[in-house]
Structure 1
């Protein structure tokens, strides 16, 4: 085999490799591309139902049963428990919520924090579809009211 034929085969192989690499790097944009961005969830998922269980005078064990173990307990303030939550989806806006409870003399005194969802994490897509369908139903009802003939 002469040098010209070897050079042409090598050139053809390099061209095909460069073409494949270009195709793969062109797929980086959008939801289907590379690299895969894993969703990151940190903290405690608390719902409105969990918060509704809280009552003044509860013991720490009762609060732990209602809300779960706290993510943060401060060694300088052991009477305060914090329940932060952070979710960074692979694509989209991050979600961040905070919730804190305070104990006085070993019993629950008060609690405060962000508005908590009324669904579990595995129900997020169903809850989003419900919100979208409710919004579209409301828009449809509003357009019917606007187009209704006056008598």
Structure 2
């Protein structure tokens, strides 16, 4: 009985179960690349989403924090901030952002690779040449 219970604690489905906690805004490098100086608040909201933090004392600053506390593993905290003057975007800064959405990772922790014959998108198969697949 003890050996059975100890085996349950060796994976992510261990005992006791610890749920993953995600809070904040997930921002990608593609979204950051769309930002341009002079954009309005509405345009920034369309690109990045509604900010998690809007401080009334700093009305010209929007903060986009993201926090992930997995049940097992290291915590992750990313920050991203945009600043406005006269309701126009003037600058932005923050931690490096990922180039994917959270659902774009395979369960193994490696990104899925689309190969000929695998279930991929039409775009993956349409532009692939035999030379490109070998690389």
Match of 1:115 in 2: 96
Match of 1:75 in 2: 56
RMSD of aligned residue pairs (Cα, Å): 2.2
CA shift for structure 1 position 33: 2.6
CA distance in 1, matches of 2:62, 2:90: 12
Compute the TM-score of the two structures, normalised by the length of structure 2. Answer: 0.74
**Tell me, which stretches of 5 or more residues in structure 1 are unaligned?**
1-19, 132-151
Query: Is the deviation greater in 89-98 or in 56-65?
Result: 89-98
Match of 1:46 among 24, 27, 46: 27
User: Which structure shows the higher helix fraction?
Assistant: 1
CA deviations 1:87-130 (Å, max 9, x no partner) are 11111111110000000011000000000000001013379414
CA deviations 1:56-85 (Å, max 9, x no partner) are 000000000000000001110010000000
Match of 1:139 in 2: none
**Tell me, which stretches of 5 or more residues in structure 2 are unaligned?**
113-135
Match of 1:95 in 2: 76
After TM superposition, the runs of 4+ consecutive aligned structure 1 residues lying more than 2 A away are: 22-29, 124-128
Matched, 1:29 2:6: no
Question: Contact conserved, 1:58 with 1:108, CA < 8 A, in 2?
Answer: yes
Change beyond 3 A, Cα 1:119–1:127:
farther
SS at match of 2:42: helix
Change beyond 3 A, Cα 1:96–1:59:
same
Match of 1:13 in 2: none
Aligned length: 111
